[in-house]
Amino acid sequence: MPPISEMAMPRRLAALFGHLLKVIGMNFEKEAQALQQQITADRRYLHAHAEFGMELPETAAYVTKRLKEMGCAPVSLGGGIICDIGSGDHTVLLRADMDALKVIEDNDLSFRSQTEISHMCGHDLHTAMLLGAAKLLKEYEPKLKGRVRLMFQPGEEVMAGAKSMLDAGVLENPGVEAAFSLHVFTTLENGVLSYKVGNAFSSIDIFKIRIEGKGGHGSALEYTVDPIKAAMLIYQGIEGVVARETSMFHSATCSIGHFEAGTMYNVIPESALLEGTLRCFDDDDRERILERIQHILDGISQATGTICTLKTMSTPSLKNDPVLCESIAPYLSEIQGLQVMETTEPASGSEDFAFISEKVPTMYMILGVGNQNAAPNHNARAIFAEDKMYLGSAAMALAAVKYLENC
């Protein structure tokens, strides 16, 4: 049996290591807190100048200007902006989405959007917090053990921005080894940071089904091929695939939110259109349901004499890497004021950062900026608390630093 003094050594080292972790986390938290006023100013400018889709000229110009003010060298890529801080053999990526929604804001804020586009999903906070992290990392640059690539992305709401930047080489030259991103939720308590290991967000398949028939007078149906009838059968058939053919132990949902046909009460239209989404967590379920939808279209097309075509735009489920999450979460827990928790429930929404998670280990986090009674993201009256934004900046910066130190 070793002497008692030797047995105590591991405990002493552990206590010292824990203290060092706390000091490191506290320093990032304090440095970020000193930036809170600027982070808020950045957020409010972006909020008042919300832009939708893949082309965000005002937003991109502002982000570029702010990065240059910090001494960074931003570069346009794939519709977005990238910026590298540090150098070395290892590279880690931090990402923020910059685009807004086609929602008219219904809030009495001095910086509210004045157009039909607004930041009701909180991407203005994401961008502002990554700008805050950029400032922290730039000041820490001499101590960085590698390279941090900042990714400011357009078009998340249209599920196109991440793929565009990926195709343009956001993970290349040099090769990115891991990636972090963060999203704000108004319905999660302010200052809580949660993450889900494994499947964190569902896949999404946005589909359009066009039914071509033969138009004519409502009094002479024998001369027509009714696309509305076929569309109704398709609607019922798709509903049955999820309700009757998917295991109760698996989660999947399919909804049709747009049904369009005809312009006159007494005219059978030439065509009809159905648009909807399929969301799954299991890849096998996703493939099976999409295949069954096509079978339904083929059968109804033959039975009704219509021509039914299916087009999809797909985004995979976002998967958080277990090893990456388990290695970084303890460091984040040492940031004062930030309550870090691992959740067992994935989010039912979808996130195009999933394309990045297919290529490199990823940790995608949720930062609470409200409470459970607040209006949710995408609501015209959603209010995003600003006072804990600096914690998001600190968490992103610290995640990058600790990843590089542990390479």
Per-residue pLDDT of the chain (407 residues; tens, 9 = 90+): 444 344 344 545 444 444 444 444 447 899 999 999 999 999 999 999 999 999 999 999 999 999 999 999 999 999 999 999 999 999 999 999 999 999 999 999 999 999 999 999 999 999 999 999 999 999 999 999 999 999 999 999 999 999 999 999 999 999 999 999 999 999 999 999 999 999 999 999 999 999 999 999 999 999 999 999 999 999 999 988 988 888 888 889 999 999 999 999 999 999 999 999 999 999 999 999 999 999 999 999 999 999 999 999 999 999 999 999 999 999 999 999 999 999 999 998 999 999 999 999 999 999 999 999 999 999 999 999 999 999 999 999 999 999 999 98
> What pLDDT was estimated at residue 246?
86
Q: How far is CA 72 from CA 59, 130, 368, 396, in A?
A: 17, 13, 29, 17
239 is in an annotated binding site: no
- Are residues 119 and 144 located together in one domain of the fold? yes
- Are residues 192 and 97 located together in one domain of the fold? yes
Residue 105 contacts residue 118 (beta carbons within 8 Å): yes
Show the tokens assigned to 404: 């590089």
Q: How far is CA 269 from CA 26, 152, 215, 218, 226, in A?
A: 66, 45, 5, 10, 7
Q: Which of 132, 107, 105, 117 is nearest to 43 (CA)?
A: 132
> What pLDDT was estimated at residue 28?
86
- Are residues 94 and 184 located together in one domain of the fold? yes
- Are residues 184 and 38 located together in one domain of the fold? yes
Cα–Cα distance for residue pair 349/318, rounded to 1 Å: 10
- With 0-12 CB in 10 A as exposed, 13-18 as middle and 19+ as buried, what is 299? middle
157 is in an annotated binding site: yes
Does a structural domain hold residue 16?
Answer: no
Cα–Cα distance for residue pair 320/195, rounded to 1 Å: 8
Where residue 75 sits, what CATH number does that domain have?
3.40.630.10
- Are residues 284 and 351 located together in one domain of the fold? no
- Are residues 304 and 398 located together in one domain of the fold? no
- Type of residue at 107: N
- Are residues 115 and 144 located together in one domain of the fold? yes
- Are residues 41 and 134 located together in one domain of the fold? yes
Does a structural domain hold residue 379?
Answer: yes
308 is in an annotated binding site: no
> What pLDDT was estimated at residue 25?
44
Q: Which of 245, 272, 275, 235 is nearest to 258 (CA)?
A: 275
Domain that holds residue 339: 28-201+318-406
* Main-chain phi, psi angles of 93, to 5 degrees: -115, 140
The total domain count for the chain is 2
Partner residues linked to 212 by β-bridges: 271, 307
